[in-house]
A and B are shown apart, each in its own frame.
Chain A
């Protein structure tokens, strides 16, 4: 009986505690810089698109919300012809960001995407591309990847076979 009264008293004094509620539209939640919200496509320091159209994000996506078509420009540089994310399906898991070899696709701390029309949640490349380098400033895929490190050439390592000529059909 006494423990019941004590419980009631302890619950009662919660009346004077500070409330946990954040009154959302007026007060915003403090989102951390690496919060996974809306997806954007970033650019490299020279202002070019980082995306190389490798489809890894589309493969990694568990809900298949990413659709893209790769194409090449006159220098043989791959880029996406179109890049479409259906945010009404996206679950903001960040797998696409993990899969991306060029840090092009990134999730930013913005989740306020309420819409009355579902079609408005399908974002095209123009909506996704931002003029920023996102979480990796100064990184340019082509400046660091596939370059000679000045140590040894292809096929020169211990027990390494010589490279195959991919343009030949001969074994």
Chain B
């Protein structure tokens, strides 16, 4: 692949992802409204899709305020970390045959590393805000990370064992005959739960928890800095959905009447919709409930899954 081609892929992926993340503002508001027997934003443009533009313009024109008591440089860096780390994770995702930014042979490990870095934005943002609610949000973010990071990585090990590779392209190709969701249902469910916790989405939006911590770690943020957290969250949803699609639902594989990229996008949007449905329907647990749930139920379950998958993989190999 030539360098220019590579650059075009990078630009294309960046452009499409940022647009999807912005468009999700509209998708989420419309879907939530429909599930609550409302109509949602439907005035600006066709079906109200220009609400995205209005929201973005509004965020750009808001006062970009840094509280005098905040730790200025960390305060500015924190929102960039979340977007940066999520965008870096997208590097390894094969959107279609040949359309991947970096075909790393340690793909999954890179993804886990980058998604773990994302929590720094919460902890640093909450700490730098110098505000007690923000600090509480940051503490909760840290405790939540302790809860989900453990079983998140392990839940993918079944897939890795069955494929014998960390490379996501290889993982997709290994699902040519059977999606891993069939052979790894426990891994899929646990990764889904971990993914929701990883993106800090409802029901696991414990660090921001509007109803108790006003906005948690980003209570002091305004303007486009808040917008970065916002976009980071939507990019996170897209990332976890893309990972679920690649790891468990055959990535871009699908019947030949549609191009592979379209299959990927269809599956992607199915899971994005599932994320929004989760938000619409489930209440938020306490953070100690999440931690004990993670360590006492999901971790033993995922360890058993790794054990059994390993045994079966060895047995099949003879």
In the assembled complex, A113 has its CB within 8 A of some CB on chain B: no
Q: Which of B34, B37, B39 lies in contact with A23, CB distance below 8 A? A: B39
Write 19 A-B pairs (CB below 8 A) sorted by A numbering: A7-B282, A8-B277, A8-B281, A10-B281, A11-B35, A12-B277, A14-B34, A14-B35, A14-B36, A15-B34, A15-B35, A17-B37, A18-B37, A19-B34, A19-B37, A20-B37, A20-B38, A21-B38, A23-B39
The answer to whether the Cβ of A4 comes within 8 Å of any Cβ in the partner chain is: yes
List the B residue with the shortest CB-CB distance to A8: B281
Chain A residues lying within 8 Å of B36, measured Cβ to Cβ, are 14
Contact partners of B215 in chain A: CB under 8 A: none
The answer for the CA separation of A17 and B282 in the assembled complex, in Å, is 20
Contact of A12 among B35, B37, B42 (CB under 8 A): B35
**Contact A8 B278, CB 8 Å, known A21-B39, A23-B39:** yes
Contact across chains for A4 and B35 when beta carbons are under 8 A apart: no
B186 within 8 A of A: no
Residues of B within 8 A of A15 (CB): 34-35
* Chain B residues whose CB sits within 8 angstroms of the CB of A4 once the complex forms: 281-282
- Is B265 an interface residue when CB atoms closer than 8 A count as contact? no
Bound together, the chains give a CA A15 to CA B278 distance in angstroms of 14
A12 to B282, CA, bound (A): 12
In angstroms, Cα B277 to Cα A14, docked, is 11
Residue of B nearest to A17 (CB): B37
| B92 shortest CB reach to chain A, Å | 30
B111 CB to nearest chain A CB (Å): 26
Residues in chain A near residue B39, CB distance under 8 A? 19, 21, 23
Could you tell me which residues of chain B, from 9 to 45, have a CB within 8 Å of some CB in chain A?
Answer: 34-39, 42
Q: How far is the CA of A12 from the CA of B42 in the complex (A)?
A: 20
Kindly state whether residue B162 has any CB partner on chain A within 8 Å: no
Closest Cβ of chain B: how far from A28's Cβ, in Å?
Answer: 16
Shortest distance from the beta carbon of B126 to any chain A beta carbon, whole Å? 29
B49 interface contact, C-beta 8 A:
no
Partner of B277, one of A11, A18, A20, A21: A11
* Interface positions of A from 112 to 161, Cβ below 8 Å from B: none
Q: Which residues of B contact A12 (CB under 8 A)?
A: 35, 277, 281
Of residues 21 through 66 on chain A, the ones whose CB sits less than 8 Å from some CB of chain B are: 21, 23
B91: Cβ under 8 A from any A Cβ: no
- B45 nearest CB across to chain A (Å): 16
Query: What residues on B are CB-neighbors of A23 within 8 Å?
Result: 39, 42
Please tell me if the beta carbons of B281 and A7 are within 8 angstroms of each other in the complex. yes
Q: Judging by beta carbons under 8 Å apart, are B38 and A8 in contact?
A: no
Closest chain A residue to B273, Cβ basis: A12
Q: Is B280 an interface residue (CB 8 A)?
A: yes
Cβ–Cβ < 8 Å partners of B34 in chain A: 14-15, 19
Q: Which partner residue on chain A sits nearest B274 by CB separation?
A: A8
Q: Which of B37, B42, B278, B282 contacts A14 (CB 8 A)?
A: B37
Tell me the minimal C-beta distance from B157 to chain A in angstroms. 22
Bound CA span A17–B37, Å: 7
Q: Report the Cα distance A87→B221, complex, angstroms.
A: 38
B222 to chain A, nearest CB (A): 29
B140-188 interface (Cβ within 8 A of A): none
The complex places the Cα of A7 from the Cα of B203 at a distance, in Å, of 13
CB distance from A160 to the nearest CB of B (A): 64
**Mask for B274-300, Cβ within 8 A of A = 1, else 0?**
000110111000000000000000000
Instruction: Report yes or no: A11 in contact with B281, Cβ–Cβ below 8 A.
Output: yes
Q: Please report the C-alpha to C-alpha distance between residue A59 and residue B309 in the assembled complex, in whole angstroms.
A: 82
A110 to B36: give the CA distance in the assembly, Å: 29
In chain B, positions 196-229 with a C-beta closer than 8 Å to chain A are: none
Instruction: Please name all residues of chain B whose beta carbon is closer than 8 Å to the beta carbon of A7 when the two chains form the complex.
Output: 281-282
Chain A nearest CB from B31 CB (Å) reads 8
Name the 4 nearest CB pairs between A and B, nearest first.
A11-B281, A21-B39, A8-B281, A7-B281
| Chain A CB within 10 A, most for which of B42, B277, B280, B281 | B281
Whole-angstrom distance from the CB of A141 to the nearest CB of chain B? 48
Given the complex, which residues of A lie within 8 Å of B282, measured CB to CB?
4, 7-8
State A93–B37 Cα separation when bound (angstroms): 31
Q: Please give the distance in Å from A24's CB to the nearest CB on chain B.
A: 11
User: Complex formed: what's the CA distance from A150 to B34 in Å?
Assistant: 68
What separation, in Å, do the CA atoms of A10 and B282 have in the docked complex?
11
Question: In the assembled complex, which residues on chain A have CB atoms less than 8 Å from the CB atom of B38?
Answer: 19-21
